[in-house]
Amino acid sequence: MAKNEMLPGTLGMLILRVLQPGAMHGYAIAQRIHQLSNDLLQVEEGSLYPALQRMLLKGWVKAEWGVSETNRKVRFYRLTAAGRKQLETEMNDFDRVLAGIQAVLQKA
Amino acid sequence: MAKNEMLPGTLGMLILRVLQPGAMHGYAIAQRIHQLSNDLLQVEEGSLYPALQRMLLKGWVKAEWGVSETNRKVRFYRLTAAGRKQLETEMNDFDRVLAGIQAVLQKA
DNA sequence: ATCTAGGCATAGAAAATCTAGGCCTTGGAT
DNA sequence: ATCCAAGGCCTAGATTTTCTATGCCTAGAT
């Protein structure tokens, strides 16, 4: 993964995490990830919206239309109970796998 | 990535890293990663060999046939200069992206 | 009036991984 | 002698995820 790319397989987790404190609309989710990561991560819209669709299908988020602070029609996404549980699972899995990777990188 | 899976996008880096100290054959590479990761990572052969092919094409490793300690005909892979440079690049990219992910996970 | 930024979405390509097989050899157990 | 497990290499196809490139619409500023 070069310059501003994502680490494949982690986008879902990041979205869930950003939604944890409360509902947000898609565009804002991407901005938030970019900002929280100190501009290190860049979520493309072509990755973001398909990811949100997948998460809707899995029942991890639900969506409802509303109006943004900037007075635009937007779609708010909110975590479901299943989504909260999924986030926990993904963060645990990530930590475990990351530990494995770090171990290899250090000891090899 | 569930139980013993890999984090997509990191397999190449792990292989390069494991080859850094010296040449190894494919089967041993998989075992080594499994062992160094304290059994956290499991490299499937169907992922390993295609990955090695890609790395051969890119010129990051070169291969030569030989005989293993267990007296079997094996293919040894060795890092090239380009491979060493590639490893460095991938590790830097990984650190940077990981920092971004951690930041999001912690601050969100 | 026009332009920019905000905003949602899809289609198609590209890449990486996994599942599931195939094939061969060595060495030990029966 | 035979068989079988483990050690090895490899490929085909499906699946999944992400990116590139679009298209379309609106609000507000110039």
Q: Using one digit for the tens of pLDDT, what is the confidence trace for A56-106?
A: 999 999 999 999 999 999 999 999 999 999 999 999 999 999 999 999 999
Task: Report the predicted TM-score, pTM, of the whole model to 2 decimal places.
Answer: 0.94
Protein CA A72 to sugar C1' D26 (Å): 7
Contacts of A26-29 with C-beta under 8 Å, sequence gap 24+, read A26/A52, A26/A74, A26/A75, A26/A77, A27/A74, A28/A68, A28/A74, A29/A77
Chain segment A6-53, per-residue pLDDT in tens: 999 999 999 999 999 999 999 999 999 999 999 999 999 999 999 999
Q: Which of A2-16, B21-35, B88-102 has the lowest mean pLDDT?
A: A2-16
- For residue A5, pLDDT over 80 is answered with no
The whole-number pLDDT of residue B4 equals 62
Chain segment B12-23, per-residue pLDDT in tens: 999 999 999 999
Asked whether the beta carbons of residue A105 and residue B97 sit closer than 8 angstroms, the reply is: no
Q: Look up the protein residue whose alpha carbon has the minimum distance to the C1' of D20.
A: A46
Asked whether the beta carbons of residue A41 and residue B2 sit closer than 8 angstroms, the reply is: no
Residue B3 confidence class, pLDDT cut points 50, 70, 90: low
Question: Does nucleic acid strand D have an atom less than 7 angstroms from the CB of B95?
Answer: no
Residue B1 confidence class, pLDDT cut points 50, 70, 90: low
Asked whether the beta carbons of residue A100 and residue B8 sit closer than 8 angstroms, the reply is: no
* B97 vs B107, more confident: B97
Determine which of B17, B40, B95 to mutate to test the interface with A (most A C-beta atoms within 10 Å). B40
The whole-number pLDDT of residue B2 equals 63
